[in-house]
Amino acid sequence: MAARTDQVTDPAIAAALLLARRGQAYYSRKLNELSDADFDGPSLLSGWDRRHLIAHVGLNARAITRLVEWAHTGAETPMYASPAQRNEEIEFSATLPTQALRNLSDHAAIHLTVEWRDLPEQAWSNEVRTGQGRIVPVSETVWMRTREVWIHAVDLGNGGRFEDFPAELLDALLTDILGAWDRRREAEGLPRYLLEAVDRPVPTVNTIPDATAAREAIVVRGTAAALARWATGRGTDGVLSSDGEPAAAPRWL
């Protein structure tokens, strides 16, 4: 059945879609392991119980779906009307009955998958605007969703672990985060970091331009999973820096 197949043939996008779908499956599995009563418990994100987190992840799928529809039709449909509207929608949805929250999560994820599947090959480079105001090709929405589902599966706080993440995902996260810090380094006075992933054949992941800069960098060492956990602001378990336990990482997004 041709209609069930992705329209895109670009191998990089196809691989990215696979990682997003694996992430959605991982997130859904962790969510389905929660009892209705568990929904009222805390997530690992300060200020959000699981209901708020589950509402956010479902609404994020809907918002990303709007970007894919925008790329498909040319009719501008932003992720969110405003940050206030985004937050109000999360607050409201967090109060839904548990089954309705489960349905929101499932249906929004399926709808997004269908929109990606049906996006014509030539439309994948059409530009859309992210929630942060960046103009990106719509293919970027795959990575936007990928990092949401994998990391928020951990944030559900019922056993999801960065150690479960595929190696390619951990490497992509570290590259993405270092790039984000590089772009904000001067404006925010961020230190340079040299990340040494001890479970990689070449154990350094960094964006240090020269030897002088490398000497001034803060070295943080750990497995790629531990480094990704630290760099995404989820704690210092399993990472060490040259002077002991590293300070909290700068914000990522």
Interacting residues toward Zn ion by CB under 5 A? 148
C-beta of 143 vs 207, nearer to Zn ion: 143
C-beta of 205 vs 228, nearer to Zn ion: 228
What's the burial of 75, exposed, middle or buried (CB within 10 Å: 0-12/13-18/19+)?
A: exposed
* Rounded least distance, CB 167 to Zn ion, Å: 23
The separation between CA 249 and the C-alpha centre of its own chain, rounded to angstroms, equals 16
C-beta of 56 vs 221, nearer to Zn ion: 56
C-beta of 147 vs 192, nearer to Zn ion: 147
Q: Which residues of 203-221 are buried (b: 16+ CB within 10 A; e: fewer)?
A: eebbbbeeeeeeeebebbb
Give the span between the Cα atoms of 29 and 75, in whole angstroms. Answer: 34
* Rounded least distance, CB 253 to Zn ion, Å: 8
C-beta of 155 vs 196, nearer to Zn ion: 155
* Rounded least distance, CB 185 to Zn ion, Å: 24
Q: Can you tell me whether residue 205 is helix, strand or coil? A: strand
* Rounded least distance, CB 47 to Zn ion, Å: 13
* Rounded least distance, CB 241 to Zn ion, Å: 27
Give the span between the Cα atoms of 73 and 77, in whole angstroms. Answer: 10
Give the span between the Cα atoms of 15 and 122, in whole angstroms. Answer: 17
Nearest residue to Zn ion, using CB?
148
C-beta of 160 vs 246, nearer to Zn ion: 160
C-beta of 140 vs 148, nearer to Zn ion: 148
Give the span between the Cα atoms of 73 and 26, in whole angstroms. Answer: 31
Q: Can you tell me whether residue 81 is helix, strand or coil? A: coil
Give the span between the Cα atoms of 18 and 30, in whole angstroms. Answer: 18
* Rounded least distance, CB 169 to Zn ion, Å: 16
Q: Hey, CA dihedral for 120, 123, 128, 134, is it positive or negative?
A: positive
DSSP structural state of residue 75: -
* Rounded least distance, CB 13 to Zn ion, Å: 22
SS3 content of the chain, % helix, strand, coil (to 5): 60, 10, 35
